[in-house]
Structure 1
Amino acid sequence: MIDYEHLQKSLSHLEEQFLNYQSLDPALPRLMQEAVAESVIQRFEISYDCLWKVLKRYLAEELGIPEVPNSPKPIFRLAAENNLLVTPIEQWLGYADARINTTHDYSGEKAKGHL
């Protein structure tokens, strides 16, 4: 049986911090605003990683697919082929790109476009 608890918690924390980010007082010091934005990004990364790993287990254990890839984009494609995604595959591939971009952008500029 697949345990969804970690994924559910990570999504809940992401939503909570994103709402916090959206309601930030613009008068807060820049450093505080950046800290909250960075927290949202970190929570997105954790949620994204949990999701593709849960999908991987689901594809293997519940659907019995013998050779499930070990990276996000192929897993999302396989999930789409098996009608597991409620939104178009392009959206999930966009999340994959956002995950890669925010991880490797140390200036914070790309993050601004995603929040």
Structure 2
Amino acid sequence: MIDYDNLQKALKHLEAQYANYKTLDPAQPPLIQEAVAESVIQRFETCYDALWKVLKRYLIEELGLPEVPNSPKPILRLANENGLLASTAELWMAYANARIGTAHDYSGEKAQAALALMEAFLSDATALYQRMSGQPWT
């Protein structure tokens, strides 16, 4: 049986911190603004990592796929081939690239590119969570 608790927790934390980021008062000091943005990116990384690992288990245990790779991009391609993703494989590859891009750099272009994907990622990730777990998103 697949345990979805860590994924659900990671998604909820990302959702909450992204809401903080979107409503952050621009009058806040730059250091505070940067800290909140970095927190969103860190929560995205945690959420993305939890998601692809649960997805791997789902492909093996629920769909019975015999050979599932051990890295995110091929797993996302398999998920797409099996009709699990609500949006395009290209968008999921953009999420993967954002995750790779922010691994050691939370400032500048890569951070802004990741932040720009957050709303779409949250929507797609919660849709995938619901599809895999069979549970509504609350």
- What TM-score, normalized by structure 2, do the two folds share? 0.79
Q: 1:43 to 1:66 in 2, by over 3 A?
A: same
Distance 2:23 2:37 in 1: 12
Match of 2:120 in 1: none
CA-CA distance at 1:107 after TM superposition:
3.9
Matched, 1:82 2:82: yes
Match of 1:25 in 2: 25
Q: How many residues align?
A: 115
Distance 1:27 1:109 in 2: 22
Q: Which runs of 5+ in 2 are unaligned?
A: 116-138
Give the aligned residue type for 1:17: Q
**Once the two structures are superposed, what CA deviation does each residue of 1:52-92 show, in whole Å capped at 9, x if it has no partner?**
00010001111111111000000000011111111111110
Q: How does 1:1-115 map to 2 (within 5 A)?
A: 1-105=1-105, 107-115=107-115
State the structure with more CA Rg. Answer: 1
Give the aligned residue type for 2:85: L
Instruction: Indicate the structure whose relative CO is greater, using CA pairs within 8 Å and at least 6 residues apart.
Output: 2
Q: 1:107 to 1:39 in 2, by over 3 A?
A: closer
Distance 1:72 1:55 in 2: 9
- Give aligned-pair identity as a percent: 71
After alignment, is 79-88 or 104-113 more displaced?
Answer: 104-113
